[in-house]
């Protein structure tokens, strides 16, 4: 009897130890790969080798708190040249909230795990082959994205999408833009020809408005009674030999400062002629107005959004409308203080040399500005996605894995945007295929509810 009791006790111990061993062995047979969470609901996926790979996988799915798992599958949305794919697991409930079975994955690449529990869908983007270490690494890499999410594209689809990336680097940018201007006289170089004593106009030498005259060209011959009187007074003073009278007579002639022949003081264009042969010109009256056009003003209309690039001293190139092959350098010497509310422009004045009169006052001209921005961190404009609510680029974290990252941009020049915040030198950004990646991100909900339905600019 005693022997029977001992044997029974030994058998009981073996059963308990065997059960413990079986439980331990059963638990140890599966390793956690990834967990899906939504509020208080959690779905953990485990596999026998700690991986989810293409081909067959033995998996365990644990739902906590224990609930009915209605569906569990891996989903890949459609892309250009490929239909959507859906690989459903074959699972059996082994205990409340615990399911075991097999999962066959069609191919490596980006997938979305979906678990439907009591009408609630939990989802997570992953890249197959998948391990727990890679999941942690991916999550760390997606921190800068708008919602901590990433977009994963298989290599085959990357070629179909034509995705091209390039590293972000510093560039010396020059802002180049053109606008329209009109040529005007340099108003600081307009001369009025007057006399300081009343005079008769004896001859004007057929001068006319619009005529270009050189310095010293005769403009008119005059006869002034006051001048004749002053000359007679000087002659009499000299005959008397009175030094004081001579000095005063000469001072009077110097004040009158008029001779029989009046000549042009500069090279320029006669813009006004107010005297004619046989006429009479009074003291202080303008007889001629001459504009020096060896230098001209070009008044350019700058759109308001570009006005910030122009400063006093900014260089520009003036291209005459009638001679588009000619280039004349100019410099901004004045920015007008008021904007045109209708045209949404600001006027700037450019001073340009005009020795051969290639620039005709009154004519139109194209004005090209080249404004150095300096060396800045920059991305191509093709890399930028403007959602209306945010501006972002796609950063390649690993081959086939892209993170939408919000950026703050500055000035635009030569097809590039200055990057003020959001990127660092060396980051690889998508420069071609951005539109298709953006569309794919919307389909997969990478942006969250705030990123859908935007427009591209």
Interval 441-455 mean pLDDT: 59
Instruction: Show the 3-state SS of the chain.
Output: CHHHHHHHHHHHHHHHHHHHHHHHHHHHCCEEEEEEEECCEEEEEEECCCEECCEEEEEEEEEECCCCEEEEEEEECCECCECCEEEECEEEEEECCEEEEEEEECCCEEEEEEEEECCEEEEEEEEECEEHHHHHHHHHHCCCCCCCCCEECCHHHHHHHCCEEEECEEEEEEEEEEEEEEEEECHHHEEEEECCCCEEEEECCCCCCCCEECCCCEEEEEECHHHHHHHHHHHHHHHHCCHHHHHHHHHHHHHHCCCCEEECCCCEEEEEECCCCCCEECCCCEEEEEECCCEEEEEEEEEHHHHCCCCCCCEEEEEECCCCCCCEEEEEEEEEEEEECCCCEEEEEEEEECCCCCCCCCCEEEEEEEEEEEEEEEEEHHHCEECCCCEEEEEEEECCEEEEEECEEEEEECCEEEEEECCCCCCEEEEECHHHHHHHHHHHCCCCCCCCCCCCC
What is the model's pLDDT at position 4?
A: 44
What is the model's pLDDT at position 57?
A: 93
What is the model's pLDDT at position 154?
A: 76
| CATH 3.40.50.1860 is held by the domain 193-290 | no
Place of tokens 């569309």: 439
Interval 61-75 mean pLDDT: 94
Which residues of the chain does CATH 2.40.50.100 include? 193-290
What is the model's pLDDT at position 261?
A: 82
Report the DSSP beta bridge partners of residue 165: 430
**For residue 428, pLDDT beyond 80:** yes
What is the model's pLDDT at position 259?
A: 63
The pLDDT tens digits for 327-350 are: 999 999 999 999 999 989 999 999
| CATH 2.40.30.170 is held by the domain 177-185+294-374 | yes
What is the model's pLDDT at position 162?
A: 82
Interval 414-422 mean pLDDT: 89
Q: Which residue has the higher pLDDT, 105 or 128?
A: 105
- CATH label, 27-140, candidates 2.40.10, 3.40.50, 2.60.40, 2.20.25: 2.60.40
CB 361 within 8 A of CB 345: no
What is the model's pLDDT at position 23?
A: 34
The Cα–Cα gap between 122 and 196 comes to: 98
What is the model's pLDDT at position 301?
A: 93
The lowest-confidence range among 13-22, 113-122, 192-201, 381-390 is 13-22
List the end-to-end C-alpha distance of the chain, in Å, as a whole number: 93
**For residue 148, pLDDT beyond 80:** no
Query: pLDDT-based confidence at 135, cuts 50/70/90?
Result: very low
Which residues of the chain does CATH 2.60.40 include? 27-140
**For residue 268, pLDDT beyond 70:** yes
Query: pLDDT-based confidence at 160, cuts 50/70/90?
Result: confident
As a whole-number percent, the residues of the chain with pLDDT over 90 amount to 41
Query: pLDDT-based confidence at 370, cuts 50/70/90?
Result: confident
């Amino acid at each position: 009897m005693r022997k029977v009791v001992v044997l029974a006790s030994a058998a009981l111990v073996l059963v308990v130890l065997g059960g413990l061993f079986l439980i331990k062995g059963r638990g140890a047979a599966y390793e956690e790969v990834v967990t899906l969470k939504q509020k208080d609901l959690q779905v953990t996926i485990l596999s026998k080798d700690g991986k989810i790979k293409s081909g067959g996988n033995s998996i365990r799915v644990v739902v906590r708190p224990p609930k009915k798992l209605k569906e569990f599958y891996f989903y890949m949305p459609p892309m250009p040249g490929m239909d959507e794919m859906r690989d459903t697991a074959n699972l059996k409930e082994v205990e409340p909230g615990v399911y075991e079975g097999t999962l066959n994955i069609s191919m490596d690449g980006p997938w979305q795990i979906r678990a439907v529990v009591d009408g609630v869908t939990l989802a997570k983007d992953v890249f197959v082959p998948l391990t727990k270490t890679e999941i942690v690494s991916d999550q760390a890499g997606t921190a800068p994205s708008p919602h901590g999410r990433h977009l994963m594209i298989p290599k085959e689809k990357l070629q179909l999408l034509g995705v091209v990336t390039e590293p972000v680097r510093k560039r010396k940018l020059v802002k180049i833009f053109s606008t329209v201007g009109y040529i005007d006289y340099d108003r600081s170089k307009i001369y009025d020809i007057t006399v300081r004593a009343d005079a008769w106009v004896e001859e004007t030498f057929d001068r006319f408005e619009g005529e270009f005259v050189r310095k010293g060209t005769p403009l008119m011959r005059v006869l002034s009674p006051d001048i004749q009187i002053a000359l007679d007074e000087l002659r009499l003073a000299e005959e008397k030999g009175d030094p004081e009278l001579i000095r005063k007579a000469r001072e009077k002639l110097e004040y009158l400062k008029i001779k029989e022949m009046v000549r042009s003081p500069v090279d320029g264009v006669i813009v006004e002629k107010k005297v004619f042969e046989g006429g009479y010109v009074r003291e202080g009256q303008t007889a001629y107005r001459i504009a020096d056009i060896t230098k001209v003003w070009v008044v350019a209309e700058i759109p308001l959004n570009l006005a910030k690039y122009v400063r006093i001293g900014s260089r520009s190139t003036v291209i005459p409308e009638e001679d588009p092959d000619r280039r004349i350098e100019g410099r901004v010497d004045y920015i007008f203080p008021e904007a045109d509310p209708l045209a949404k422009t600001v006027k700037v004045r450019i001073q340009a040399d005009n020795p051969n009169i290639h620039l005709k006052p009154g004519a139109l001209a194209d004005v090209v500005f080249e404004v150095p921005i300096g060396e800045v961190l920059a991305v191509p404009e093709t890399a930028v996605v403007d959602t209306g609510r945010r501006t972002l680029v796609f950063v390649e974290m690993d081959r086939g894995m892209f993170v939408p990252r919000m950026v703050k941009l500055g000035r635009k020049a030569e097809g590039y945007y200055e990057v003020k915040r959001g990127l660092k030198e060396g980051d690889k950004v998508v420069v071609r295929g951005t539109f298709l990646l953006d569309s794919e991100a919307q389909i997969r909900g990478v942006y969250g509810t705030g990123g859908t339905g935007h427009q591209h600019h």
